[in-house]
């Protein structure tokens, strides 16, 4: 194991109540657990007083829980809390979370001279997990698109709707998490102790890449347009649109409105 200057502690919880008990035991701000049951709005960063003179901070973020099927589009958010105190770095994770293993692996394979170094590396790991999930969602959409001629229109649209609903959850979570990390990067306690300043740039770059992935999902062709498989489908749609516009114009023109 590398010689560390970081005192790492991983504590587990089983429910909101057990997490609140851990927070109370350490005398950390109780409000950090707000939104735990709706993880999309859970991420946040908070400073608090540690002892009489020192300042500590904590970050609530959402990792992704792995699913049994690598191509499963279901998004399982894994909320956790990171507390950085001068003498110790604590991760509060659910007892069934894979995050504990990821944290321990990072700690055992990389030398960290500060809490912030480990936090930054773990944040990059989280975004790597998001990127993998979004790539799988993209693969599923492409596969469904390729098989669209073999399924009924309703089945096709339902599958597309379910997959994109999961993408919306990811998008909302990432937006909230972005705001939490922007606040983290403005804390002197974080930036002053982060030996590798490029890490913040790397995290922001990872965020931008994931944002582009999500934008790409919304831009994908979902098919299902009337006449899309006919030679004159586009022309028919233009004609129908013009006829509907003309009918609407005639109806509105014939109506009498009170001054």
Helix axes 115-146, 153-185, angle to 10 degrees: 160
What was the pLDDT predicted at 49?
A: 85
**Tens digit of pLDDT at every position of the chain (259 positions):** 554 678 999 999 999 999 999 999 999 998 989 888 888 899 999 999 877 767 899 999 999 987 766 556 788 899 999 999 988 999 999 999 999 999 999 999 988 989 999 999 999 999 999 998 888 888 888 887 777 666 666 777 777 788 888 888 888 999 999 999 999 999 999 999 997 889 999 999 999 999 888 887 776 554 445 555 555 666 676 787 788 788 777 777 776 545 4
* Alpha helix segments (H runs only) across the chain: 16-26, 99-109, 115-146, 153-185, 188-191, 198-219, 233-254
Confidence at residue 222, expressed as pLDDT on a 0 to 100 scale: 47
pLDDT at 20: 94
Residue 181, pLDDT score: 96
- For residue 259, what pLDDT is reported? 46
pLDDT tens profile 21-47 = 999 999 999 898 988 888 889 999 999
What is the pTM for the complete model shown? 0.79
* Residue 249: per-residue pLDDT: 76
Tokens 């098989």, residue located: 147
Positive or negative: CA dihedral 189, 195, 197, 198: negative
CB atoms within 10 A of CB 252: 9
Q: Quote the tokens at residue 55.
A: 């300042």
pLDDT tens digit sequence for 72-94: 678 889 999 999 998 899 999 99
**How many Cα atoms occupy the beta-carbon half-sphere of 134 within 13 Å?**
24
- pLDDT score of 47: 93
Q: Write down the pLDDT at residue 107.
A: 95
């Amino acid at each position: 194991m590398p010689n560390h200057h970081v005192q790492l502690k991983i504590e587990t919880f089983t429910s909101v109540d057990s997490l609140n008990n851990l927070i109370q035991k350490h005398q950390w701000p109780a409000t950090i657990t707000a939104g735990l049951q709706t993880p999309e709005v859970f991420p946040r960063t908070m400073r608090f007083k540690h002892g009489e003179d020192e300042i500590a901070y904590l970050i609530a973020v959402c990792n992704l829980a792995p699913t049994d099927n690598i191509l499963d589009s279901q998004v399982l958010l894994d909320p956790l809390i990171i507390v950085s105190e001068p003498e110790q770095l604590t991760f509060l994770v659910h007892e069934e979370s894979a995050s504990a293993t990821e944290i321990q692996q990072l700690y055992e394979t990389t030398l960290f001279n500060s809490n912030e170094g480990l936090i930054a590396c773990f944040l990059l790991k989280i975004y790597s997990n998001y990127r993998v999930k979004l790539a799988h969602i993209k693969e599923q959409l492409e596969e469904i698109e390729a098989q669209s001629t073999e399924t009924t229109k309703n089945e096709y649209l339902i599958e597309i709707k379910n997959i994109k609903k999961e993408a919306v959850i990811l998008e909302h979570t990432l937006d909230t998490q972005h705001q939490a990390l922007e606040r983290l990067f403005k804390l002197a306690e974080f930036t002053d102790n982060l030996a590798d300043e490029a890490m913040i740039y790397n995290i922001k770059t990872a965020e931008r890449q994931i944002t582009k992935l999500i934008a790409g999902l919304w831009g994908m062709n979902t098919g299902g347009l009337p006449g899309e498989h006919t030679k004159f489908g586009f022309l028919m749609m233009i004609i129908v649109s013009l006829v509907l516009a003309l009918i609407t114009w005639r109806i509105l023109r014939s109506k009498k409105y009170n001054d």
